[in-house]
Structure 1
Amino acid sequence: MADCIRLREIVCYGYSGVYAEERRLGQRFVVDAELHIDLRPAGTSDRLEDSLDYGALVTAVRQIVEERQFSLLEALAEAIARRLRQDARVQQVRVVVAKPQPPIPGFTGSVAVEIWR
């Protein structure tokens, strides 16, 4: 399937992490998601109900990141993927969860996990 909806750079503030400080102070997370779905019905009808509501998808991702806690990025990504696959029309999802500037001494980049479901 070549059709997909891409949500890029969903910026959230959450309280996930292995260290107590991360869970107490919180930090920024950046999520990308790709939902594989047949877009032909929406393309021909021009009706939202034949597609997915982008705003609702972003809200769902933000709620998971901001309202739940996970130790691992892997678990956070899995929860996001499960939520995005709730619509039966979604055939596959790709989720990338990044943590900019994690609390790793001497490391100023970001860490990320990517999953396909």
Structure 2
Amino acid sequence: MFAEEKKLGQRLEVDAELTYPIEQKVKHDDLHETVSYADVYQTIEKFILNNNYNLIESVANHCLDLLLKSYPTIDSITLKVRKYSVPIAGIFDNIEIEVSGSNK
């Protein structure tokens, strides 16, 4: 992380792909049989806002670990963490890191 990013903060965007066997586990119209996307969003948001890392790789890995521990019924998770306005010369929109893990 560059000194400017530490001072000014940075804009991050996170995509979360969750694998959950809804065909087997969701038999009724009942939230208790599935995973609440609102809860997952809040877990990610709280993590991003309350942690400070030098590398987006660390953000991605630690957030993935937290999600896997917080939602043990999810089979697997893939996170994409994007950082915008990177102070590097070049023509690109963002830098993106992708990590995956499973509870199996």
TM-score, with structure 1 as normaliser = 0.77
**Alignment pair present for 1:110 and 2:94:** yes
Query: Which of the pair is proportionally richer in strand?
Result: 1
1:35/1:84 contact within 8 Å kept: no
User: Using CA pairs below 8 Å that are at least 6 residues apart, which structure has the higher relative contact order?
Assistant: 2
Instruction: Count residues in correspondence.
Output: 99
Query: Percent identity over the alignment?
Result: 25
- Aligned partner (choices 36, 48, 52) of residue 19 of structure 2: 36
Query: Which of the pair is proportionally richer in helix?
Result: 2
1:24, CA displacement in angstroms?
Answer: 1.9
Q: In the alignment, which residue of structure 1 is the partner of 2:35?
A: 52
1:35, CA displacement in angstroms?
Answer: 1.2
Q: In the alignment, which residue of structure 2 is the partner of 1:27?
A: 10
Distance 1:85 1:48 in 2: 19
- Aligned partner (choices 12, 32, 47) of residue 64 of structure 1: 47
Distance 1:85 1:100 in 2: 26
Q: In the alignment, which residue of structure 1 is the partner of 2:82?
A: 98
Distance 1:54 1:96 in 2: 16
RMSD in angstroms over aligned alpha carbons? 1.4
